[in-house]
Structure formats: C-alpha cells, structure tokens
A and B are shown apart, each in its own frame.
Chain A
Amino acid sequence: MLVSLLSRVELADPELLAELAGGERPIVAALAATWPRLEARTTPQRRIAVLAGSRRQRRRLEEAALRAGWLVSGGSADEMDLVALSRMVLSTRTSAVLLGSDRSPAGDERRHLPDLAALAAAAKQLRPELTVILAGGAAAFESTFAGATDTGPGPELSSDPPRELTAVVSEAAVRATEATDPVVAAQPEASAPPEDAEPGAEVTTWVADVPAPDDKLEGQSKATPDAPPVADLAAAPVLAAARDSAVFPSEVDRGVSPQILLAPDAGAGEPAGASLQQVLEGLRALPNDSRLGIARSIGSLAYVLDRTVEVVEIGLQGGLRARSEPIGGGHSAVVSSHACFADASFSPADPSEEVIDSVFAWSTTALDRHRLTDRLHDLRFMPWGDADGDGAVFRLAAAKAACSRLVDATPELTAHPMPDLMVAAGGIFASIPPSVVALALADLGRRPGVGQLVCDQARLLGPLGAVEDEAERRRLLANLADDILIPLGCLVLPAGVKSGRTAGKLRLQGTDPISEIELHPGAIQVIDLSPGRTARADFEFRDTVRLGTRGHHFSVDVGGGLCGLLVDLRDIPLRMSDRAESRRAALDAWQRGMWPGVDE
C-alpha cells in the first residue's frame, strides 16, 4: 500500500517525492523499505472460563472479565456439575481460567473451592498451555497447582501488562483530587494489596503503575527500520475470518503465556472489580493492541486539548468506551478510565438472543428474525462488504446496537457529564455518512450538555496509541489532531424540555445573517455551521431546562462541522414505543432527516 501511495505521489509530484527521499529521485520500493514502521494490532478475541463457588461470585468475576474484553464462559459449583465445569475448562477454545472468591469466602463458596481448585489444577495438568488466575481467597489454593506446571506457581504479574492502561495520572494529582473525584479516588485503592495476600508473596501484582505524564511507557509499540517484504498479489487481504481459521487451525493463540497468576478479588478497586479488570486486560491484550491504543491516545488528546474527551469505538473484535479528563492545578495531569467488551463488536462471533434483539431495536427496516441473524453472521465473515444501500442501513443498526450495549455496560462513565469532545471511532463509523454518525452519537450519549462531535475517520487513534513515548504521542497528536479528527458538529442536548408547540428560540450569532430559529420539542434540529467556524448560540427556552445548570437562558460557544449544529430536543433518555413498527417509524423519521440520500 505504501509503495502504491508513493507511486501516486511520484506521478503527481516527483519533486515532492524527491524531497521526501532527501533530495535525489528515489526508487519507490527502496524508499518505502527504508521508512520505520509503527505496528499496532487488534488482539483477537480470547475466551476465559470463570469458575466460582456461588452464582453471586460468578457474576462478579464474569463482569470483571467482560469489562477486560474477554469472551466469557462462566460456571459455579452450585449451578453446574463437575463434568460440565471440566468441559468448559478443557475446551481448546478456552485460553485462561479464572478461579475466584471473596477475600474471605463465605460458607456457600468456601465449601466448593477445594473441588474447583483441584479441577483447575487437573485441567492445567492436561492443558499446560492454560493460564490460571487465582483471584481473592482462591489464592490460598496456589499450592494445589504445584505439580501442574513445570515453571512453578507464583505471582508473575510483575511483568505488568496493564501499566498505564487504566490510569495515567500523577500521584500528586491523585492526592489532590481523591476526595472529590470518584475515578481518581480509585487509584490509591487499586494500589493497595488485598488484606489476605499470601504472607511473603510479592504484591507487585496489585501495585498499579501511575507514571508521570512524561514517563516512558514500555512495550507498547515497535518502531523499526526493518521493512516488511513488498506486498505481492498473494498477500492481498484474506477473504474472511472463517477462511483464515481453515488455514490457521485454532482460534486459541499462544499469546497468553501459560502460568499461574494471583490477582485481587472481584470487589477490589473503585469501581468494584477495577483491579481485577486491569489484571485480566493486561493478560488478554497484545503489547501493541490498537484498541487500548485508542484509550491511550484519548488520554494524550485530553492533555493536549485541555478538554474532557470521551470515545466510543466499535470494531469487529469488540468495542471500547474511554474517558479522559484533565485535572489538577493547571490541568497538568489527566485521569482516564475505560472498558473493553468483546460483546460490543458490531457482529459478535456467537450473538445471543439479546444481541439480535438489540439490532432489531435499532433497525429501521423490517427484517424477519432469521434473515437478520443471517445478515449479522455474514457481516462477521465480510466486515467491509455490503457497505452501500440497505447494507449501510443495516451496518448502522448493528453499530448502534453495539454502542447501546457498550453504554449499558458502562454506567459509571455515563454518570459523568457530557464531555467537551465526543469521538466516534472504528471502521463501521468510517464507512457511513458523517451526519448519521453524529445522529448515532446523539442517540446513544444522552446526557444534558454541549459537546463537540468528531470522528476518527482515518482510524489513526489506535496506531498512535501504540507510540511508546507519552511525550512523543502528545506531540504527534498536537500536530495531527485537526487532520485526523473529522468535525461532525456540535451537539446541544438540553434535558427537561416539555412537550408543546414550541420549546423556545435559538439565536445564532457569528453567522451572517444572524439566525433565529424556533425550537420544537421532540425534534432534532440541524443548523448549518461549516467546519472551522464558531458561533455563539443564545438559547431562550420556554420552560426551565438543564444544560449544565438549570435555567431558561443559555449562551454557549459552538463549533461547526460537516453536519453543523445539532440541537437535540428529544427526551433524555430517549423514549420510544415498545411496538416494533412505531419504534422503527420514529427511528426512520429521525434518520431520514439526517440522511437524505438513504433511499437512493
């Protein structure tokens, strides 16, 4: 691809190419071979088997594993028999086993733990490639695994997979804000070892690294002057994941190194389970994972722009929701939090009935259930195919359904106010018109406030997040932010608009002529404001509404975008009929307003 691009540059502007090559007219292939590479990869989906003594504990462990991006098979000894649990653990599709309990297990789970530990140890003996994580009180059964592994058990998480992934925050900033900010307050707790840690055992596992913003981050990317071989035709994109598996036999990769790990219990951290999530995420993700790279980029972007940034990323292997906020004196630090979900893929590998229902709920076309299921499965085989016409409409429904699952799974992020900058990322958003992406963000991020909407159209946030050096990443993003983030528009979302003929008036200053627009309850109104332009919007509402604060009159600065200024006067949360036809009609009406060419 690089050779192809440079060949085009050579045809269009040979002097520019010579300048890139340092003065002399180069051979394109040779030039491309000398440039350094930054590699970022999406971690393939991996499955973890969760074992617990009780249903309550299983749910807590499953939630932590789900938030870390794992596919989860869960079972508890009080619900399933030992053969079924063994089947789950011994399946070759399972890469890791999480056996957990409370720090001080209650009777209901304590009586099952010896059986479960023996079962996990036996599984480890049969499948030495399994990684076993003992969480909370289950760590007391570490000795059960003594004969199950040649390398021997022990806390090995000091290899620090998670590092900065959950938080990039200076310790000073933590101390300064821990009393007020719940996210920041989480970090000191996450840094503390659990009370029941094995005496003498290393507790580096639980020490969350909180590097200063300029600290060098390790193992996140590989910038190398070694060039890959020039692509030939045979190396063109492969057909589909299923065909890959035909050639490459197993979905279980060897990325997770087999070992016995000790981890905190499912209640540690703030919010509960954050510490275990951090451990599991580090275990799952490749060192230069592009999805986690987006979270890192968002942190850098928040620092560079000095604004609160939130991202929703939807991909084939999962989804990510992340938020970064500048804090401290002079906003010298940034606090970040994120969660990855395999289930937030726009086309999950094995979609449950709930996933099918969620796509149904956001679909504007009438499809029978079987046909919708078939289309969703085929979307996984060909994620870039069928992207026009009704295929685009279906992809939008699948993306919105994935987004809604992601939003539902991250209530702690939804509890924050609307961010200054909301980013849509992922290939599925890159292939549909910008106005529809803006509508999707308005539909799903329903919090009162004013925010700028942008799209990572070139999908560069992930690769840039693979840059090792935080300072270098910030420099890059400071230079490139305007180019890689396509401005979609500005979203104004007041809460508490009452139904009636009119909701009030909007006066937009800074445009020529000054626009005065009547606001209609229940509608989403779009006002032209081209990218790069700013204006002052004076709102005069008939009733008291919430837009940051409560009041009738608001004056806010708004920026333009491809879509313009969106004033969303629909309900918060979005209320729609339970009847499929009515719901579909409402969604279709809003969509047509933003997507005039949908019927072409």
Chain B
Amino acid sequence: MSVVERRSGPDFASALAHVATRRILVFSPTIHFRLSPGDRALVAPGDSVSTGTPIAERTPDAESVDAGRLDIEAASGKNGGAARAGRPTQDAGTSALWREGRLEAGEILPEKRSQMATKVGPWPSGTARHERRRPPEPGKWWVGGGERRGKSGKNRPVPRVGGTLLFEKQGRWRAAAGEHHQIVESPVAGIVREARNSVEVTIEAAGAAIPGAIAAGEPSRGYLDVPRLTDGELWASALDVGRAGAIVVAGSRISAQAISRARAMSIRGLIAGSVGQGELRDLEASELRQKASLAPSVPFGLIALDGHQRRPIATPVLALLAALSGREVAIVTDPPLLIFDVSEVPLPELPPDWIRVRSGIHAGREGRLLDTAGLYRFRSGVHLEAAIVRFVDETDTTILPFADLERFIF
C-alpha cells in the first residue's frame, strides 16, 4: 500500500490526537500504605522520611481483645492513675495500658515530629506525659497484658499484646491487638501527607516514577538490574543469587517459576511487560503462607507495565530502564509505580509520530503513524476508525484501529 507520509500539519495533529497517550513518567507521585486495625503509623503529617525510615508498625496477628474500662482504671488510680493528680476523668489515663510513648516524661514534643504513635489531626502542644495521658480514642495505640486475652496461667509467661483501640461500648474498650509486630520501612524518600492509625500512611515521594498497570507483593527497594533479554524474555535460570538485592527487569512476562526463584534468591522485585492472573494468585498465596508463619522475609514487589496478556516492554520504557540500570529504585504497589531519583536521567528521544500497539494481534509492536484511514472494515465485519501505520523494520503499511494504539509522553 502506498501512502504519502504526513508528519506535520493540522490533519496530522488531528490524527495524533486520536491516539491514546501513555505517560511514561510521573513526578512527585503520591503513594499509599494501607493499614489495618492493629496497625499504627510511626510518622505524622509533614514529616520528612528517607529511605528505610520506619513509617508504620503492623500487627499481622491482630485479634479482638477486651481492653477493659480504661477511664475507670484511670480514675481509680489503678496503674498509677491520674485521678490523684486532679485531672478530669475524661483526660485521665494512667498508664501502661494506654502508654504509647517512647519519650521520657517531661520531654517536650517537637513541633512537627510526633510520637511513635500518632493522633489524627493537629498535634496539641504539651508534654509527653500529657500525650501519654490522652484519653482513649479509636485508633490509639494500646498495650496490654496477655491476661486480657485469657492466656494467663501458672508457670507460663504472660504475653503482652499491642495494637490499636477499636471502639468503646458502655465504658469498655475493645482493641485489635497481637503479640507480633512488623515495622514497615519507607522504600522512598518524601514528605508524609497523611498518617492515620489503622487507616493509611500517605507519602508524597521525591523523584519520578514509571507507572505500571499491575503491582503485587510488597513495596521494596533495590538496585535496578537490566539483564540482556532473550527474545524479549529473561530465562528463570538467569535469576541467581548474584542478583540478590536487585530489582530485575524480566522482559515480556513473568512466570510463576521466575517469581518463586526470585524470592528464593532474595531478589527484591521483578519488572515485566505482563503477568498472568494465575501467577498473581500464586504470589498472593505464597505471601499469605509467609505471613501466617510470622517469619520475617525480605520484601518482594512485582510490577507489570502493560497488563495480563503477553506483551514486550515498550522500547521507550526499556530505554529509560536501561538508563537507570545500577541505580537504586523502589517498587510501590499502591499505585503501581517504579520510583527513582529524577536527577541526571537521560530521557529517550521520541519522534512525535512514534506509536505502539497495545492490544489486538499486533500487541507490543511499534512503529510510526502515517495517516488516518477513516472508518474501515476490520476482521469480523467490525467497522472502526483506522490509522495507517508502518511498523519498525517493515516497508509495507498496516491499517489498525486507533483504539489499539498508544503514544508516549513524558
């Protein structure tokens, strides 16, 4: 088919406008860490966090616990109660039961930095003692003895449980608490925008990110390893112990075998064009087993840039990943992003008419948009708005539905 190529002018701009845009980079993305009842935030809004800063403490084995009549205990002076200090009962609190602080008595709170457990809303001025004596409220950190779960007994150590308060009914509080806790570290540097116990921690990350379509596993961090890909894929056998601590670009698709092997080799994450739903289910089941065993494990994250069906990674994205090779990057799962430090990364140059096929039988192929073909009858007698495209390394042109195409913007 002979087509006069038009790469300028209003008609060509109009043709390009029909093509869906895909943003390769987003800057200063906002990321979320979802918390559950029993989990607490260790940061406060406005805090700066750097890589590895503890941002939350999870309680994976949280269960419903009767925390007792906290106000009455306080008023009665139990556990060194506050009633004797003349404080009103509502503001009273004694005690180890509500103790949340790691600050010493009398220590002045910094203006921005909160205690390890936080309260939603503006931080009241005052002393650590005052903070420790805040009245109980939903989401507040609580530590109690094992006797409250009926676990006390002769010749047995009394386990202590920690978690967050759930709700109060008729003066008695219930808490979601457990014996085991896990610290969540921030995989990125940034500013904390929101921190609520039992709900979420939101961070505005410093740097830029490549958006993905799907993410699974846990947020993780490592150096980016871009190995040579064979036919667009990485053999699972290439994932060896030498890549421990790396986030590896695995090509067009991640297999279940590659995921298992990567986790066994302490690889921190995998990046691919696509990942099947079956593989995601396997990973989820594996994570649940890991959590059930309460054994600490290296965080492992996974990102698919395009979706579930097999597609090679887009060449502009691959070029960007290659430019980042060897640098520290982070996988975050909510939303799916690969985050990196933005400075000094050469961005690939893209012709304005560069397009990629994102779905259909040509999915993953790239080329140049030549012109529009109007309403065109495709296979199965379906009529769709069409574009004339020349793929890389081909001389013939191909007519494709506009809806199957995408172009890249930074």
Q: Which A residues have a C-beta under 8 Å from some C-beta of B?
A: 4, 7, 81-83, 86-87, 90-92, 114-115, 118-119, 121-123, 125-127, 231, 233-234, 236-240, 242-243, 245-247, 249-250, 370, 373-375, 377-378, 381-382, 384-393, 431-433, 595-600
Contact = CB atoms under 8 A, between A and B. Distances in A.
A595 B380 contact: yes
B112 to A, nearest CB: 22
A370 B360 CA distance: 18
Contact of A83 (B38, B360, B381): B38
Contact of B401 (A115, A378, A388): A388
B403 A385 contact: yes
30 contacts: A4-B17, A87-B37, A90-B198, A92-B34, A115-B167, A115-B169, A118-B168, A122-B139, A125-B139, A126-B196, A233-B13, A233-B16, A236-B16, A239-B23, A240-B307, A243-B213, A246-B26, A370-B276, A370-B278, A374-B309, A378-B309, A381-B306, A382-B358, A385-B358, A388-B382, A389-B378, A392-B379, A433-B381, A598-B381, A600-B380
Nearest to A240: B213
B74 to A, nearest CB: 19
A433 B16 CA distance: 27
Contacts of B197: 126
B199 A387 contact: no
A399 B199 CA distance: 37
A375 B14 CA distance: 31
Contact of A374 (B19, B202, B277): B277
Nearest to A382: B359
A378 B308 contact: yes
A38 B336 CA distance: 35
Contacts of A242: 212-214, 335-336
Contacts of B276: 370, 374
Contacts of A243: 22-23, 211, 213
B169 A118 contact: yes
B364 interface: no
A375 B336 contact: no
A290 B229 CA distance: 47
A119 B174 CA distance: 10
A115 B32 CA distance: 30
A127 B194 CA distance: 12
Nearest to B379: A389
Nearest to B352: A233
Contacts of B165: 122
B404 interface: yes
A456 B380 CA distance: 21
Nearest to A246: B211
B213 A237 contact: no
B219 to A, nearest CB: 14
Given A237-B21, A238-B20, A375-B309, A247 B198 contact: no
A126 B404 contact: no
A388 B335 CA distance: 31
B409 interface: yes
B168 to A, nearest CB: 6
Q: Which of A7, A127, A231 has the most CB of B within 10 A?
A: A127
Given A115-B167, A387-B382, 19 more contacts: A83-B176, A236-B17, A236-B20, A236-B21, A237-B20, A246-B211, A370-B276, A370-B278, A374-B309, A375-B308, A375-B309, A378-B308, A381-B213, A385-B358, A387-B384, A387-B403, A391-B359, A431-B384, A433-B382
A433 B383 CA distance: 8
A325 to B, nearest CB: 35
B267 interface: no
Contacts of A7: 10, 14
A114 B169 CA distance: 8
Interface string B201-215: 010000001011110
Interface in B12-53: 13-14, 16-23, 26, 29-32, 34, 36-38
